[in-house]
Amino acid sequence: MTRVACIDIGTVTARLAVADVEGGRVVRLSKRSEICNLGEGVDAAGRLSEAAMGRVLACVRAYAGMAREAGAQAACCTLTSAARDAENSGVIEGELRALGLSPETIPGQVEGTLTFLGVAQDFPGRRILVADNGGGSTELALGSLGEDGALDLDFVRSVDVGCRRLTEKFLSAAPLPSPDDLARAHAFAADAFAPAVAAGRLRAAGTDGASDASPEALVVCGGTVTSLVAIDARLEPYDPARVHLAHLSRGRVAELEALLAGLTAEERAQLPGLQPKRAPVMLGGAVAVSELMAQTGFPELQASESDLLFGLAITAAATLEGAPSPVSWRPEMRPLR
């Protein structure tokens, strides 16, 4: 059994996973997450702010210590949409290297593939569409995972629709968004998702535009969808066992979006099930999920707690063991001392 640490730095959240992996399967995984908002202001400025980088570095410094204490043999560190978009991402990469890590800003194609690998562990042999709805982008991946653990991916694409991107573009000018603000956010998301849905033939089986190769299920991961499930169930405290693989209908997602749209960020922060720090971007995330379901035609989704961190852990363990990588990429592993 191989114990690895994986640090993923997203647009909104920085996360740590310490995982035990055996035979290409995650046997045990513990996660920590902190909303650091690395991507704050990036959509407009094209740069990471000093304050945002400082928050992330303080968080990751603590994560590295936790990983050592947990007995992880080595760690990998990935950055995603915010770092891809920022012209000064080399600055935070340098600071992370000074902490003893080997940071990698990964392309959307790699991010989507790793996420699919993690999510599909719960759906062996099924043809699914996996959507990782993050702060700056949504990764879409269509395919299946064989019983032998082999990936069969037909389509992977990163689309620039995320909760922070939509919030900063359309939903932050006033405490309460206007109907026009919401309409423009939906139109932006629809225009971004539609070409990917058409190119990947991602329409749900049995709907207009579907094909023989259409996915049979939509599985969504990320802080927005897990928060929607938690709000819907009024989970206090948050219970990942009740969120993982929970179903939400398209109609219920629309109702939750309407609820969020009628509240200020301060009022959203009081909702049972929602992390207060996520409140400012939660409506943008709901718009993204709602529009994704509309464009793909799925009447319901399943939420997944098994996300990029699961896929990253499997790939990191294979790298340490000298085994073939399950994806066409290997993380840079740094021993923890």
pLDDT tens string 94-150: 999 999 999 999 999 999 999 999 999 999 999 999 999 999 999 999 999 988 878
Q: Which residue ranges make up each domain of the chain?
A: 2-105+311-335, 110-304
In the predicted model, is pLDDT for residue 28 greater than 90? yes
Rounded to an integer, what distance in angstroms lies between the CA atom of residue 32 and that of residue 17? 7
Q: What is the pLDDT of residue 70?
A: 95
Question: Which CATH class name applies to 110-304?
Answer: alpha beta
- For the segment 187-235, what is each residue's pLDDT rounded down to a tens digit? 999 999 999 999 999 999 888 887 888 899 999 999 999 999 999 999 9
Q: What is the pLDDT of residue 336?
A: 85
Helix and strand numbers, DSSP H then E, in the chain: 13, 12
Q: What is the pLDDT of residue 173?
A: 87
Average pLDDT over residues 42-65: 96
Asked if the domains at 2-105+311-335 and 110-304 fall in one CATH topology, the answer is: yes
In the predicted model, is pLDDT for residue 24 greater than 90? no
pLDDT over 90 for what percent of the chain? 92
Q: Among 24-33, 259-268, 281-290, name the one with the lowest average pLDDT.
A: 24-33
pLDDT over 70 for what percent of the chain? 100
Nearest Cα neighbor of 131 from 213, 89, 84, 189 is 189
Q: What is the mean pLDDT of the chain?
A: 95
User: What token pair was written down for 28?
Assistant: 């045990």
- For the segment 60-91, what is each residue's pLDDT rounded down to a tens digit? 999 999 999 999 999 999 999 999 999 999 99
Q: What is the pLDDT of residue 211?
A: 82
Higher pLDDT, 240 or 212: 240
Q: What does each C-alpha distance from 323 to 6, 62, 97, 317 come to in angstroms? A: 18, 30, 26, 8
272 close to 231: Cβ distance less than 8 angstroms: yes
Q: What is the pLDDT of residue 250?
A: 97
User: What token pair was written down for 98?
Assistant: 């000074």
Q: Is the dihedral of CA 104, 110, 111, 113 positive or negative?
A: negative
Average pLDDT over residues 305-330: 94
In the predicted model, is pLDDT for residue 337 greater than 80? no
Question: Which CATH class name applies to 2-105+311-335?
Answer: alpha beta
